[in-house]
C-alpha cells in the first residue's frame, strides 16, 4: 500500500514509519522544513515538506495514496503554548481530514490518545471505547484539544472516509527523546521528580502502538476508535517499578492540596517570569491527579494485540536512554542495564513485520 504519514519523526511516528517500511509499504513522510530525519536510518522514504497548518499543501501531497496515517500533534504543556497546541491538534487534524477527502484517499488512521476517552477521580473504573467524554471541566488544554480533534475527525469521516482513531495510553519504550512520557519516566533518575500524586495511567509499549497502526492500515476494522493499553498502574506503582529497576529511591506520594497550592503560587509568579510555569502549572496538576485507566479488551479481540509487560517496557525505555546518552548510569543497577546489548529498533520492526505477516 501507499501510505502518507504525518508526525513520522516523533517518538510514536518514527516507530510506525519503521514498521510500515519493514512490512514493505511505500511511505511518504510529510515533514516540516528543517525537521530532523537522521534517526529514521537508511529507510527508503519519500520526504515531502509541508505543514498540517497549511492546508493548501496537503491535498496534492495525499493524492494517489491509499491511506493517511495522521500522528502529528503537540503536547503543549507550557501555558505559553496553549493556543499553538489547540491549533496543531485541532485545526491541523481538521486540515488533514479535509485534505484526505479532497484527495480521495480511501482511509485515514488517526493517532489520538486515551485522554480523549476521559478520566475518573478514583481508580476503580476502567473506561472503554463506548464511553462518552468523561474528563471533567478542569482538564488541560492538551486533553481538551485531543478530545475535540477526535470528535471533529469522526465527524468529517462520515462524509466518505474509512476512519479509525487509535488511542494509545501513556507510551513508553525504546527510542524517543527526553520529552513527553519517556522524559517523565526518566526524570526519576535525574532528581527532577520529588513526588507524585495519587493518579494513575494506562501504559503501553511504543512497539505495540506501531503494530496496531500497521494492523489498522491493512485491515477494515468496522469501528472508529480502539484503545491501546497493556496495564493500568497508579503513578506511585509505575515509578516504583522504574525506581526498582534503576536502583533509586522511588518518589513519595504528595498531598494534592499541597501541590495544588504550589501550582497556584507558581502561576502567580509566572506572570513576572513565564518560564516558571513551563513544567509545573495548574493544568498539569489537574491531569496528574486523575486516573486514566482504560479497558484494552477491544484491541485484544479486534486487532489480536498481545501486550508485553509494563516492567519489560520500562526496562527497555531505561536501557535505550542509557545507550543513546539521554541517561547516565549513576547506580550499579543502571550500569548492569547499560551492559546489555543495545536495542536495534530496525531489527525489532523487521521481526514484528515477519510475525505479523505470518499471523495473517
Query: What are the residue boundaries of the structural domains of the chain, listed by start?
Result: 2-252+284-359
Mean pLDDT score of the chain, rounded to an integer?
Answer: 92
Distance from C-alpha of 228 to C-alpha of 303, rounded to nearest angstrom: 10
C-alpha angle with apex 35: 31 to 41, nearest 5 degrees? 90
Cβ(60)–Cβ(34) below 8 Å: no
pLDDT at 96 over 60: yes
Entry field: residues in the chain: 360
Q: Judge contact between 23 and 44, C-beta under 8 A.
A: no
CA 114 to CA 165: how far, in whole Å?
10
Confidence of residue 13 (pLDDT cuts 50, 70, 90): very high
> Which residues lie below 8 Å from residue 56, measured CB to CB, with a gap of 6+?
none
Q: What b/e string do you get for 27-38 counting C-beta neighbours within 10 Å, with b at 16 or more?
A: bbbbbeeeeeee
DSSP-based three-state secondary structure for 109 = strand
pLDDT score for 336: 95
For residue 167, the surrounding DSSP H or E stretch is strand 162-168
pLDDT digits (tens, 9 = 90+) for 26-39: 999 999 887 777 77
User: Is it the case that residue 301 has pLDDT exceeding 60?
Assistant: yes
Cell of 184: 517523565
Q: CATH number of the domain at 2-252+284-359, please? A: 3.40.50.720
Rounded CA-CA distance 329/279 in Å is 25
pLDDT higher for 139 or 78? 139
Q: Are the beta carbons of 20 and 65 closer than 8 angstroms?
A: no
Given a cut of 60, whether residue 89 has pLDDT beyond it is yes
Assess whether pLDDT exceeds 60 at residue 213.
Answer: yes
Q: Work out the percent of the chain whose per-residue pLDDT is above 70.
A: 98
Q: Identify the pLDDT of residue 43.
A: 61
SS3 content of the chain, % helix, strand, coil (to 5): 45, 15, 35
- Convert the pLDDT of each residue in 97-106 to its tens digit: 999 999 999 9
Q: Given a cut of 70, is residue 42 above it in pLDDT?
A: no
| Phi, psi for 200 (deg, rounded to 5) | -160, 160
Q: Are strands 231-234 and 162-168 parallel, antiparallel or unpaired?
A: unpaired
Looking at residue 175, its pLDDT comes to 87
- Give pLDDT, residue 90: 97
Q: Could you tell me the pTM of the whole model? A: 0.95
Would you say residue 15 has pLDDT above 70? yes
pLDDT for residue 252: 94
**Structure-model confidence comparison of residues 135 and 345, the more confident one:** 345
What value does the mean pLDDT take over residues 228-238? 98
Amino acid at each position: 500500500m501507499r501510505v502518507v504519514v504525518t508526525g513520522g519523526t516523533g517518538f510514536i511516528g518514527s516507530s510506525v514509519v519503521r514498521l510500515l517500511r519493514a512490512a514493505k509499504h511505500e511511505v511518504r513522510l510529510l515533514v516540516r522544513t528543517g525537521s530532523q530525519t537522521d534517526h529514521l536510518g537508511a529507510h527508503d522514504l519519500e520526504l515531502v515538506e509541508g505543514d498540517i497548518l497549511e492546508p493548501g499543501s496537503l491535498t496534492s501531497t495525499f493524492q494517489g495514496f491509499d491511506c493517511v496515517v495522521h500522528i502529528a500533534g503537540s503536547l503543549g504543556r507550557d501555558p505559553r503554548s496553549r493556543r499553538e497546541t489547540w491549533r496543531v491538534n485541532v485545526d491541523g487534524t481538521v486540515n488533514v481530514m479535509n485534505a484526505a477527502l479532497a484527495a480521495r484517499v480511501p482511509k485515514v488512521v488517526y493517532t489520538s490518545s486515551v485522554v480523549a476517552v476521559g478520566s475518573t477521580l478514583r481508580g476503580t473504573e476502567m473506561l472503554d471505547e463506548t464511553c462518552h467524554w468523561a474528563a471533567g471541566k478542569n482538564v488541560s488544554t492538551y486533553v481538551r484539544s485531543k478530545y475535540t480533534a477526535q470528535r471533529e475527525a469522526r465527524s468529517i469521516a462520515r462524509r466518505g472516509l474509512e476512519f479509525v482513531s487509535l488511542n494509545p495510553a501513556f507510551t513508553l519504550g525504546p527510542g524517543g527523546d527526553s520529552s513527553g512520557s519517556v522524559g517523565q519516566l526518566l526524570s526519576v533518575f535525574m532528581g527532577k521528580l520529588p513526588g507524585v500524586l495519587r493518579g494513575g495511567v494506562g501504559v503501553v509499549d511504543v512497539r505495540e502502538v506501531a503494530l496496531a497502526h500497521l494492523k489498522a492500515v491493512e485491515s477494515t476494522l468496522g469501528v472508529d476508535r480502539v484503545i491501546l493499553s497493556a496495564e493500568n498502574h497508579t503513578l506511585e506503582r509505575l515509578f516504583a517499578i522504574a525506581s526498582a529497576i534503576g536502583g533509586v529511591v522511588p518518589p513519595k506520594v504528595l498531598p494534592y492540596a499541597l501541590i495544588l497550592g504550589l501550582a497556584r503560587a507558581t502561576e502567580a509568579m509566572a506572570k513576572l517570569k513565564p518560564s516558571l510555569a513551563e513544567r509545573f502549572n495548574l493544568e498539569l496538576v489537574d491531569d496528574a491527579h486523575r486516573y486514566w485507566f482504560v479497558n484494552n479488551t477491544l484491541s485484544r479481540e479486534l486487532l489480536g494485540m498481545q501486550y508485553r509487560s509494563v516492567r519489560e517496557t520500562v526496562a527497555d525505555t531505561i536501557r535505550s536512554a542509557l545507550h543513546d546518552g539521554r541517561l547516565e548510569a549513576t547506580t550499579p543497577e543502571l550500569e548492569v542495564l547499560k551492559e546489555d546489548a543495545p536495542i536495534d529498533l530496525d531489527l525489532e520492526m523487521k521481526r514484528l513485520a515477519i510475525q505479523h505477516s505470518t499471523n495473517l
